[in-house]
Structure formats: C-alpha cells, structure tokens
Structure 1
Amino acid sequence: MSAYTKGRDAFEHGCYREAVESFLQAIALVNRNSPLDGEMQMWLVTAYQAAGQQQEAISLCRKLQMHAHWETRKQSKRLLYILEAPQLEKKSEWLTQIPDLSDVNEEDVNERMGVGTFTPSVPKPHPPEPEPIDWSQVDTKESNIVGVALIALLLVLGGLVWLG
C-alpha cells in the first residue's frame, strides 16, 4: 500500500498524526510541483489541522499559494481563508453536555430503565351478554299517548297540505 493511500485511510479513520506521517513520506517520493504533489499537500494541510497543528497547516497552505499547479493554488487560497477565520465564541447554552457513562454498569441501567420488568397485561374479560328479553312479560298494548301523538301528527300534516 502506498504511503499516500495509507495516509488517506488513516485520516478517514481519525488517526490524524499517523496520516501526517504517511503524507510526509508520500510527498517526499513524488515529483515536486505536479498535480499529485499538490493534492497530497492539500491532504497534509487538512491532516495538520485535524491533528491540532494549526500553525503548520496555515504555513503549508501559504506556501501552496505559490504551487506550480493552478488548482492547488486555488484550493490553498480557499482553505487558508477558512483556516485564518476567527473562531466563534461558544456559549454554554448552545452546547449539550454529554454525561460520562464509563463507570455505569449495565445492571444499573436496566434497573433504572425498567428493562426486564415487563409483564404482559392480562386480557380484560368480556362484559357479560345481556339477558334476552322475554316478550311475554312485556306489555305490548298500545298506550293512549301513542294514539294522541298519531292524531296530532295527522292533523299537522293535513293542515300543511290544505294550506300549501
């Protein structure tokens, strides 16, 4: 595996110091001022920055503004603008504090979260069915109120037809 590929892999896996070393080895092996040299050095700038070596990143970026390859010059100018930008102040209310959970064991978490205490609910019994109606016991003879209501309804309808 080439030093350049090894450096990119290390960078992508968060091993920034290892990436810096690999990029330095790779740059020593390529033709100076070639497009590949410019690409490798741009990777080195980002690796420096990710490794916390801000001054080295800025210094290299300034040198790359004079690189023979125009794309490298253009990219280094843009990256230098970002690297030299003032850092914004981070207010505490903007940040979320993540608690340290390194000394919490799994049993405590399960106990606090109620894991493992689930008991399935017992199905509710169906309400009893109503007793069937014994129609022989029900008085089904017409009451006077039904007759009076029917007569009143017929009178109202008749009046509407006669007037309408």
Structure 2
Amino acid sequence: MTSFLAYVWVPGSDIPGVLRRFIDRYVATEQPVHQRPLSALTRTYVDLEPAERDEAELENSPRQPEAVNAFSVYLRGAARDEAIITLTEESDLVLGLGIDDRDQSREAWDEAVHLLDELMEEFDAVSGMAGHDGLAPPQSALAWADEEPDLRVGRDLETRIEPI
C-alpha cells in the first residue's frame, strides 16, 4: 500500500541515460511480475533496440483517456514501495516513487518531501510534486498543471502546454 507519491518532470533530452539510472537505482528488476513491461521499456527506450512484441506490450500500459503517445509503467521499487515511469505527450519523462505508510506518520511525509528534493537534483528535473495515494502520474504538461498535489516545487510547465 502506497501512501505518498513523489513525481518529477524530467526534460527528454537524454531519455536512455535517465531511464537507465532510474531503473538501476530505484526499480526492483528481479521481480518477475513486472518483467514484461520493464523489458519492453528497456529495449525500446534505453537500448533503442525494440523487439517485435514490445510496441504491443507498451500499448497495454496505463494511459489517461486523452493520451495519444503517453503511457505509464508501474513497477515494484527497489527501496521504495513502487517506481513509476511515464513517457509524456511532450516526449519528456515523469519519474515517480511511492512510499508505504500504513501508520500515516509525519515521518513518511517528511521522507516524501526529502525524496522529492533528491529526485529533482539527481535527474535535473524542472518540476516536482508530492501527494497522497490517488495522485496519478501526469502524462502531459496540461495534466501536470491540472493536478492538485499536496506539494509542488520547481518551475511551472505552462510553456510546455500545447494550444488546442
């Protein structure tokens, strides 16, 4: 059970490198239940050598109703409850980590805030947010702007929002 979620928006200038670092540090890669989407994501976006079935595998990943190209992959975290990787409509990344807090303690919220700062610095993120369960990973700059998290840090993403 995840109680707090921390997400950072990372510009897509080095998707393979950023994903490799995030997966190596934060994803429990040995978990067989998550191997198929993780393997498809890694081959397609890190190794840049997708297998024939990878596109179909990633198309089954959760998408928001308005998503065209964006999707999210939910994975078991190595040191945290879960790790979430989202490729956005803008071809950027939203990286997220979930913190388990069955006791709803103040320490877990403090940990989420610290984790958000850590992720911002580690991945040169331009914006970040943290909130309680139910805060879905935004799949576009517009969805990011529309979210109402408990905490927001960094830049506003309005310049990334495409006019309708």
**TM-score per shorter chain, which class?**
under 0.3
Q: Which has the larger radius of gyration?
A: 1
With normalisation by structure 1, the TM-score equals 0.25
Structure holding more helix per residue: 1
Structure holding more strand per residue: 2
